[in-house]
Homo-oligomer: A and B are copies of this chain.
Amino acid sequence: MGTAERKEREKQRRRTTIINAAERIFFSSRGNKKTMDDVAKRVELSKGTLYLYFKNKDELLYAIAQKGVNKLCDYLKQSTSTTLNGREQLSEYGDAFVQFVTDHPKHFDLILRFEILEPTIESDMIMEPALNLLQHALTLGQSDGTIRKDHTEKELVIVLWSQMVGILNTIKHKEKYLNQFNIDVQQIIKGHFHLIMQGIG
């Protein structure tokens, strides 16, 4: 009988339930309700049970962040077009990315968190799936001559993504400073893209 299989499915379903409850808790702007106890209460399980499904709080957050990366990949796939050269495709991906951040700021914050914090999860390159998509544009550009060839696609994709993380980190954490100097966030993003598109060719 397929008891084991059914149990496995139930386990997965419960895991998903926990992730969704946690998402609502962690993404709520309501004050300080962000503890595992809060999640447990929300999902109507005991705290101990949460720790049967997730090794620790970080693993739970990581699972939520992964959902975000999947969403981002959808955005990127959507903006993929065979009519574009590598350079144009890269630019499209940049726009799609900004759109994703605009549409799902909380998910993006969480992804940023895992880009930025001391790695707590073993296999920790949460963006990998999205980076692989980006890399296609670079490979394409290198073969159609629209992107420089003095660095490998892998190197370039890491440099580009790292720079992007830096820019978005500043936008998120230095809002006060930017305001203080009347610096427009849109201008920063534009400036970044201008530099990159000129530098990449």
* Interface contact A196-B195, CB-CB below 8 Å: yes
Interface range for A:
35 or more
Q: Is A60 an interface residue (CB 8 A)?
A: no
A150 to B192, CA, bound (A): 12
Among A183-199, those with CB < 8 Å from B are 183, 187-188, 190-192, 194-199
* Interface contact A125-B174, CB-CB below 8 Å: yes
A155 to B169, CA, bound (A): 15
Among A140-173, those with CB < 8 Å from B are 150-151, 154-156, 158-159, 161-167, 169-170, 173
* Interface contact B191-A156, CB-CB below 8 Å: yes
Residues of B within 8 A of A163 (CB): 162-163, 166-167, 192, 195
Say how far A98's CB is from chain B's closest CB, in angstroms: 15
Q: Which of A159, A161, A174, A190 has the most CB of B within 10 A?
A: A159
* Interface contact A124-B177, CB-CB below 8 Å: yes
Q: Which of A158, A176, A196, A198 has the most CB of B within 10 A?
A: A158
Say how far A73's CB is from chain B's closest CB, in angstroms: 18
Q: Which of A164, A195, A196 has the most CB of B within 10 A?
A: A195
* Interface contact A165-B174, CB-CB below 8 Å: no
Q: List 17 A-B contacts (CB under 8 A).
A: A115-B170, A116-B116, A118-B173, A124-B173, A124-B176, A150-B194, A151-B187, A151-B191, A151-B194, A158-B188, A159-B167, A159-B192, A159-B195, A162-B167, A163-B195, A197-B199, A198-B198
